[in-house]
Amino acid sequence: MIEKPEFPSRLRVRSALVFGAGFAYFAVAHAGHEFPFYPSFYPQEITVETLDAKAAAQRFAKATLHAYAGGELAAQSAPAKTASVASLGGYVVVTFDARAPQFADRSARCAAVRGLKHALAEGQIWHPYPVTPFHADYLHHADRAEAARVAVAAQKAAEPPGRLEIVDATVLAAQAGARYNGWLGPPWLRRGWFHAYLVLAPAVRDAGARARIEELAHRLMNGKHANLRERIERERELVALLQSGCERVVLGYTVRSEPYGTDYSQGVENVGHDALDGLASGIFTRTVKLRDFPWNGWLNVATPAVPSGAWNPVVGGFGGAFGRLVWSALGDPAFLPSPHGEGWIENRLSASKTKMGTPLAVPEDALVPEPGSGRLARAGRGRTATARIVYDVRNSAFHDGTPMSVADLFYAYAFAAAWGAGDALDPGVAQATAFARERLKGVRLLRVHTETLAFGEDKLTYKIPVIEVYLDAGSAGDAMTVAPPWTVLPWHLLALLEEGARRGHFAFSAAGAGRRGVPELDPVRDAVIVGRLAELARELEERAYVPAALAKHAGAGEARQRYRRLREFHAAHGHWLVTNGPYVLSRWDGARAVLTAFRDPSYPKGLGSFDAYAAPLKAHVTRVEQREYGAQVHTEIEWLEREGREVKIVRGPVAKRLAERRTTREQPLGLACRYLLVGPDGAIAAAGSARADATGRCRLEFARPEKRAGRGSGRLVLAAVLEENVANTPIKIVPWEH
Amino acid sequence: MDKEQLQERRSFLKQFGATLGAAGLGAAAAGTGAYLAVPGAAHAAMKPKGNIPSTPVKVGHITFLTGPAALLGGPGQRGHILAEEEINAEGGLLGKRKIETLFADEAAGTDANVKELRRMKLAEKIELFTGVISSGNTPALGPVAEELKVLTLFNDGCTDFLFDKAVPNPKYTFRVTNIQSADGVTAAIGAATHWPKARRLASLQPDYSYGRNVFEHATLAFGKIVPGTEVVSESWPKLGTTDFTSHITKILSAKPDLLFVGVWGGDYVAFYKQALRYGLFDKMKVATTLAFGGYPHAIGKDHPDGVLAGVHANYHFLYPSAERWPINKAFVERYYKRFKEYPSFESDGAYTALYLYKQAIEKANQLVGGWPSDDAIIAMLEGAGFDSPGGYLYIRPDNHQGYKDAVTGLSKNLPGYDFPVWDPKSIVSIPIRNITAPPNWPKPGKGHNESTAAADWIKKTWPTAKA
Give A268-283 pLDDT, tens digit per residue.
999 999 999 999 999 9
**Bridging pattern class, strands A67-68 and A298-303:** parallel
Does the beta-carbon distance from A2 to B143 stay under 8 Å? Answer: yes
Its ipTM equals: 0.86
The partner residue sitting opposite B242, judged by closest CB among A36, A597, A608, is A597
Closest by CA to A620, choosing from A638, A643, A596, is A638
Closest chain B residue to A644, measured at CA: B341
Closest CA to A374 of A501, A478, A465, A479: A501
Query: Residue A58 above 50 pLDDT?
Result: yes
Please tell me the distance from the alpha carbon of residue B451 to that of residue B385, in angstroms, as a whole number.
29
Q: How far apart are CA A645 and CA A420, in angstroms?
A: 52
pLDDT in tens, A657-678: 877 655 555 556 789 999 999 9
pLDDT tens column, A526-582: 999 999 999 999 999 999 999 999 999 999 999 999 999 999 999 999 999 999 999
CB atoms within 10 A of CB A480: 25
Higher pLDDT, A599 or B16: A599
Instruction: Answer whether B110 sits within 8 Å of A456, measured CB to CB.
Output: yes
Q: How many Å lie between the alpha carbon of B101 and the closest alpha carbon of chain A?
A: 8
Residue A655 has what pLDDT? 84
Residue from A455, A609, A658 to probe the interface with B (highest B Cβ count within 10 Å): A455
Q: Edge-to-edge, what's the strand order for the sheet holding B152-154?
A: B99-105, B57-63, B128-131, B152-154, B173-175
Q: What are phi and psi of B273, to 5 degrees?
A: -70, -35
Chain B residues within 8 A of A31 when measuring between CB atoms:
135-136, 139, 159, 161, 209
Q: Half-sphere exposure of residue A474, counting CA atoms within 13 Å on the CB side?
A: 16
Q: How far apart are CA B466 and CA A581, in angstroms?
A: 55
Distance CA A692, CA A699 (A): 7
Question: What's the confidence (pLDDT) of residue B29?
Answer: 37
Please give the mean pLDDT across all residues of chain A: 89
Q: Which of A33, A293, A600 sits opposite B270 (nearest CB)?
A: A293
What are the chain A neighbours of B67 within 8 Å (beta carbons)?
36-38, 606-608
A722: which strand partners?
A671
What mean pLDDT is predicted for residues A24-42?
A: 62
Q: Does A6 touch chain B (CB under 8 A)?
A: yes
The answer to whether the CB atoms of B418 and A264 lie below 8 A apart is yes
So what's the pLDDT on residue A31? 41
| pLDDT for the residue numbered A13 | 29
Q: Give which of B62, B209, B272, B451 to mutate to test A binding, by max A Cβ within 10 Å.
A: B209
* Confidence at A2, pLDDT banded by 50, 70, 90: very low
Query: Based on C-alpha coordinates, what's the Rg of chain B?
Result: 21
Asked whether the beta carbons of A479 and A471 are under 8 A apart, the reply is yes
Put simply, the answer to whether B239 touches A26 (Cβ < 8 Å) is yes
- pLDDT value at A377 more than 60: yes
Question: Mutating which of A14, A34, A645, A663 best tests the B interface, going by the most B Cβ atoms within 10 A?
Answer: A34
Closest CB to A7: pick one of B102, B300, B449: B449
A492, pLDDT greater than 80: yes
CA atoms within 13 A on the CB side of B337: 8
pLDDT at A253 exceeding the cut of 90: yes
Residue of B nearest to A606 (CA): B67
**Contact predicate A5/B445, CB 8 Å:** yes
Q: Least CB-CB distance to A456: which of B105, B139, B449?
A: B139
* CA A291 to the chain's CA centroid: 26
- Residue ranges of alpha helices (H) inside B67-137 are 70-89, 110-122
Residues of chain A above pLDDT 70, percent: 92
Averaged over A166-194, what is the pLDDT?
93
- Report DSSP letters for A365-411, one per residue: T-EEEPTTT--EEE--TT-EEEEEEEEEE-----TTSPPP-HHHHHH
Closest CB from A2, A32, A35 relative to B166: A2
Of A33, A265, A645, the CB nearest to B210: A33
A667 touches chain B (CB under 8 A): no
Using 50, 70 and 90 to split pLDDT, how confident is the model at A95?
very high
CB distance A369 to A378 below 8 Å: no
pLDDT of residue B44: 54
pLDDT less than 70: residues of chain B = 1-15, 22-45, 467
A33·B110 Cβ contact <8 A: no
The reported pLDDT for the residue numbered B210 is: 86
Q: Fill in the DSSP letter of residue A75.
A: G
The enclosing H or E element of A345 equals strand A344-346
Q: How sure is the predictor about A636, in pLDDT bands with cuts at 50, 70 and 90?
A: very high
- Which of B53, B117, B40 shows the shortest CA–CA distance to B79? B40
Q: Test A599 with B109 for CB contact under 8 angstroms.
A: no
Decide if A611 touches B, using CB distance below 8 A: yes
The chain B residue lying nearest A646, using CA atoms, is: B340
Average of pLDDT values for A291-315? 95
> Is residue B44 helix, strand or coil?
coil
Q: What's residue B20's pLDDT? A: 76
In eight-state DSSP terms, residue A715 is E
Measure the CA–CA gap between A585 and B97, rounded to whole angstroms: 58
Tell me the chain A residues in contact with residue B116 when contact means C-beta distances shorter than 8 Å: 665
Question: CB–CB of A486/A412 below 8 Å?
Answer: yes
pLDDT of residue A4 exceeding 50:
no
CB contact under 8 A, A665 and B104: yes
- Nearest chain A Cα to B215, which residue? A11
| CA distance between the termini of chain B | 19
Does B240 sit within 8 Å of A597, measured CB to CB? yes
- CA A238 from chain center: how many Å? 24
Q: Do B68 and A456 count as a contact with CB atoms less than 8 A apart?
A: no
Contact between A37 and B210 using a beta-carbon 8 Å cutoff: no
Q: Do B210 and A28 touch (CB under 8 A)?
A: no
Q: Are A477 and A724 in contact (CB under 8 A)?
A: no
Mutation target among A17, A33, A40, A613 for the B interface, most CBs of B within 10 A: A33
A45: chain B residues, CB-CB within 8 Å: 242
Distance, CA of A414 to CA of A409 (rounded, Å): 9
Question: Is the previous residue joined to A101 through a cis bond, with omega within 30 degrees of 0?
Answer: no
DSSP B164: I
